[in-house]
Structures are given as structure tokens and as C-alpha cells.
Amino acid sequence: MARARLLVAYDGSAFHGFAPNEGVETVAGTLVAVIGRVVRRPVELTGAGRTDAGVHGWGQVVSLDLPEGTDLDDLARRVNKMAGPRVVIRRAEWTDEEFDARFSARWRHYRYHVLLTPQPDPFRAATTWHVGRPLDVSNMQLACDPLIGEHDFSSFCRRPKPGPGVTPPSMMRRVILARWSEPEPDLLRFEIRANAFCHQMVRSIVGLLVDVGLGRRRAGEVNGVLHAHDRQAAGQVAPPHGLVLWEVGYGDT
Amino acid sequence: MARARLLVAYDGSAFHGFAPNEGVETVAGTLVAVIGRVVRRPVELTGAGRTDAGVHGWGQVVSLDLPEGTDLDDLARRVNKMAGPRVVIRRAEWTDEEFDARFSARWRHYRYHVLLTPQPDPFRAATTWHVGRPLDVSNMQLACDPLIGEHDFSSFCRRPKPGPGVTPPSMMRRVILARWSEPEPDLLRFEIRANAFCHQMVRSIVGLLVDVGLGRRRAGEVNGVLHAHDRQAAGQVAPPHGLVLWEVGYGDT
């Protein structure tokens, strides 16, 4: 067996999230089933990011062990024929056995798209949050400043259910960049890169920043929200379908 | 009653075509039902182009009579809330009583998108034809030349079923422009504008031009296909989901 690395894209609206989940269709569940059929043996895989139901993937990275000598181009073609276009292997290559899609990752980069047109758009409905009103982008950009650097992001993260034997996980994360741009008229793009993200962190940040853009909250409040370490402080969580796992960095890209 | 003009967008994959059709969901059928509910009386509408099942609309134009004094902005908002985002009124305005979306139109402009990436793309699967191989765009552009001008497009059109009392309709159409561009890497766009189109005309033309791009046919053959007046001469018909009714011209735009 040898370690392979896959670059995977998927339409999140077609799946109940990335991670395997008994009884529902997930991205990893689908890949495991289809790849297993191609290589004629059970496979296990690791993803760089466990995206939630409805969240899209463009640059999701997956590592898994495959029989040596497997023709990876042929594998990708066959998987894409069986599982595509909802989920697609964009690239497949051999890598060293130390490589782990999750633990080798140095950063994850997400994008979130917000649509400002007064009327909804049938062609962007599945990949944007239709806010439908003008937003104050310079205030939203200003509000990003306090997020940069290493912080406890408890205010923006959904905690796992507490229970006996469950150690509350650390919410310390290092945000490397957070910026807004307008790649097309009336379409805003938020980009955020961090060493890692905790659960619902991007969507909670976007929810707060859009509230700032709407004038419901002030840019100056973000620092206080961050240091409250209280999930109630952040406010609304942006819907999942505007979010896409865009790229994962391993130091080699 | 007064004449209104609507600019309508829709995701063709969600409907069985534009024209009302008993027992299946169509764009016009949905609009008539929803608008009728808002204005509390039955309405009838005319569309500029009867797009087929799977074909999208961005700039479809619809004319219909509504009670005078109807608040059109409010109507659009309510229709979009009920029927959107699959079908959306982008703009609604009053127009003169002579205006007819179909018969007042001077030209229709369609776009067709072809995706060249070797692997499919989950986010463009619904709006592009995934050919997945490089195409010779300059040959495809050359092959457009014979199409410009007024011709009998029988070779590219599906005829209505013959029968007693059915006069074979004229297939004479005037093509004003036909051009290929590459707005993004690996994404080709075909634009074609004509006074009107007959059934499956754009998709038959695209099918032939892609065959030219693949080297299966020569650009020099297009003139012969056009003058054959024989539907068998054109070859493959491109799939509907790459096609979108982009704009309709009335002399005022």
C-alpha cells in the first residue's frame, strides 16, 4: 500500500456534510464507497476539513492508502464518472507515507460569498448568501482587524456536547488573513485563512461582519465579542451554502 | 387593465421548459400561478422565447396584463418570495399596450457555455456542457462565418410534426452575430444573436461547431450543412443545460 493525496471538489447541497455519517449521504462516505469499488478493497480516508452539511468544497484535500501501482489518473476518471459531478477528484497523486491531509496541513483557506442584489439570483442561490441589501464594506473590513493573530475563538465556535470524559477542546486558533473584496458588482467575497478552524467559526464570523455591514452592530464591537469568550456574543450564524473550503496549505504549495 | 413587462431569470434544470404544459412544472405555468395568486385574478402571459426543458433564462421577457395600479415592485418581491430562487422577476415595469414580448422583439441573444477541463466541475455542471477536451477555437470561429445573414436554417431545426392542416413553418432566420470567446481559462462561451430562432437551432449549431473544434468535421463543411436543408447533415445536438436565453432586444435597449 502507498499513500495518495487527492484534491476534491463537491457541491455541499448534495450531501449531509463531509464526515461519514451512518444512514445519510456524505462526501467522505461517497468517496470511500466509490474508491473501494474501483480498487476492490475497503479504504479509509482523512480529510483536511470536516465541512458541515451544505458547505461546499473546492480545494478539499484527502489522504488515503491505496494498493501500490494503482493508476491514479484512471482512478480519478472512474470515480468522477460514478460520483461526479456532485463530487469530483480534481487531482490525484502519490505522496510520502508521512503525509496526513488533516495533521500535515499548515493552513485552511475558506471563502464566503454574499449577494447584494435586491432580487435573488437562480444561478447563485446555491453558492451565495442572498442578503439583498447594500453593505458597508469598509466597516466590515475594519471589523476584521481584531480577528488577525492567535486568539481564543470561543465566541465564534460551537462547542462539542459536554459529557463525562469529554475534555473541552482548545478554541485557540491563529488567523492569518481576513479580507473582503467585490469580485463582481453586488457580489462580496470574504476570505479567511487560519492554521485551523473550530466548528462554525467562519459562519459565525461572517454573521457578525454582515451585521456590521448592515449597521446593526459597530466595527468597534468585534474586539469585545472576541474577548467575551461567549457564543451568545457573536449573534447570527451565516447560512452554510455561501461557504466553500477553497484551499489547504501544506508548505509545498 | 394595463400592460406590464417583466424581465425574468430561471434555472432551467428546475422546470420542464418555459411554455405551460399540463401536468408538469414549467416557468410560465409557475409564473401564471404565482402572479395570479398575488393579484387575485387569472392572468395570461407571453414570453419572448419558448426555451426547452433544461435551458436557462437570464433575460427572458414576459408581457401580461395586470390590474391598473398594481404595485409592480411589491409584485416582484412577493413572486420572488414564493417562486424564487428557481425563477425570479429581475425587473417589472409598465409598458404601452402595443408591447408584446414575442412579437415586438427585434432579436434574441443566447449564450452557450462549454467546459474544457479534463475533470467535471460540481459548480458549473448545471450551466455548462462538459466536453472535457481542448477545442480549436479559431476553427470554431471560422465555422461561424457562413451562418451570418439570412438563411433557411432547416438543417439546424427540429420541425413540428407534419399532419393534416399543418403548414410547414418557414425556417428563414437572420443571424446577426455568432462568436466564440474564452471568458475564463477552460471555459468557452458561444454567443449568437438572431431576429428569431427555430426549435433546437442554437443547440444544433453548437453541436456542429464543437465537432469542428474536436477536429471531427472541418470548418469548410458548415456551408454545405447549411445549404443541405437536411437535419441529418448537422450531426449532434448539444445538451440543453449549457444554453441560456441571455437578452432580448426591442429597439429600446
Task: With CB atoms and an 8 Å threshold, state whether B11 touches A76.
Answer: no
CA proximity to A142, closest of A216, A242, A223, A202: A223
The answer as to whether A112 is a domain residue is yes
Higher pLDDT, A233 or B48: B48
Q: Which residues of chain A have pLDDT under 50?
A: none
**Which residues of chain B make contact with A88, given a CB cutoff of 8 A?**
119-122
Same domain, B90 and B114: no
**Which residues of chain B make contact with A90, given a CB cutoff of 8 A?**
119
In the listed set A63, A94, A125, which residue is the last one of a domain according to the structure? A94
The answer as to whether B101 is a domain residue is no
List helix spans (H) across chain B: 27-39, 72-83, 137-142, 201-213, 221-228
CATH number of the domain within which B72 lies: 3.30.70.580
Same domain, B85 and B176: no
Interface residues of chain B, partner chain A, Cβ below 8 Å: 9-11, 14, 56, 58, 76, 80, 84-90, 119-123, 125, 127, 130
Mutate to test the interface with A, among B15, B78, B123, B245 (most CBs of A within 10 A): B123
Same domain, A127 and A6: no
Give the tens place of pLDDT for each residue, B61-118: 999 999 999 999 999 999 999 999 999 999 999 999 999 999 999 999 999 999 999 9
The answer as to whether B99 is a domain residue is no
- Provide the shortest C-alpha distance from residue A44 to chain B (in Å): 23
Indicate the residue of A58, A84, A130 with minimum beta-carbon distance to B120: A84
Q: What is the DSSP letter of B242?
A: G
Count of domains observed in chain B: 2
Task: With CB atoms and an 8 Å threshold, state whether B86 touches A122.
Answer: yes
CA proximity to B7, closest of B251, B252, B246: B246
Interface residues of chain A, partner chain B, Cβ below 8 Å: 9-11, 14, 56, 58, 76, 80, 84-90, 119-123, 125, 127, 130
Indicate the residue of A11, A84, A122 with minimum beta-carbon distance to B11: A122
Same domain, B171 and B60: no
Indicate the residue of B9, B120, B130 with minimum beta-carbon distance to A122: B9
The answer as to whether A232 is a domain residue is yes
> Which residue range is the domain that position B173 belongs to?
107-249
Q: Span B215-219, mean pLDDT?
A: 96
At B133 the pLDDT is 95
The answer as to whether A203 is a domain residue is yes
Task: With CB atoms and an 8 Å threshold, state whether B127 touches A123.
Answer: yes
Same domain, A237 and A117: yes
The answer as to whether B240 is a domain residue is yes
Task: With CB atoms and an 8 Å threshold, state whether A88 touches B120.
Answer: yes
> What is residue B152's three-state secondary structure?
strand
- Kindly state the cell numbers that stand for B173: 432566420
In the listed set B94, B123, B146, which residue is the last one of a domain according to the structure? B94
Catalytic residues of B: 52
At A253 the pLDDT is 54
Same domain, A27 and A89: yes
In the listed set A34, A68, A94, which residue is the last one of a domain according to the structure? A94
Same domain, B172 and B201: yes
User: Does residue B214 have a pLDDT over 90?
Assistant: yes
At B253 the pLDDT is 53
The answer as to whether B132 is a domain residue is yes
At B162 the pLDDT is 75
One-letter amino acid for residue B31 of the chain: L
Q: What is the DSSP letter of A85?
A: T
Task: With CB atoms and an 8 Å threshold, state whether B87 touches A121.
Answer: no
The answer as to whether B80 is a domain residue is yes
Same domain, A79 and A197: no
Rg from Cα positions in chain B: 19
Mutate to test the interface with A, among B73, B78, B119 (most CBs of A within 10 A): B119
Task: With CB atoms and an 8 Å threshold, state whether B56 touches A11.
Answer: no
Q: What is the ipTM of this complex?
A: 0.89
Instruction: Give the count of Cβ contacts less than 8 A between chain A and B.
Output: 66
Cβ-contact A26, A18 below 8 angstroms: yes
Task: With CB atoms and an 8 Å threshold, state whether A9 touches B121.
Answer: yes
At A52 the pLDDT is 94
Same domain, B83 and B123: no
Give the tens place of pLDDT for each residue, B121-141: 999 999 999 999 999 999 999
* Whole-number percent of chain B with pLDDT over 70: 99
Task: With CB atoms and an 8 Å threshold, state whether A123 touches B87.
Answer: no
Give the tens place of pLDDT for each residue, A171-187: 999 999 999 999 999 99
What's the Cα-to-Cα distance from A24 to each of A18, A19, A27, A34, A149, rounded to whole Å?
11, 10, 10, 15, 37
Same domain, B144 and B115: yes
Chain mean position to CA A143: 21
Same domain, A111 and A66: no
User: Does residue B239 have a pLDDT over 90?
Assistant: yes
A91, closest residue in chain B (CA to CA) = B119
Task: With CB atoms and an 8 Å threshold, state whether A9 touches B123.
Answer: yes
CATH number of the domain within which B158 lies: 3.30.70.660
DSSP E strand boundaries for B82-155: 87-94, 107-115, 129-130, 149-152
One-letter amino acid for residue A140 of the chain: M
Same domain, B147 and B244: yes
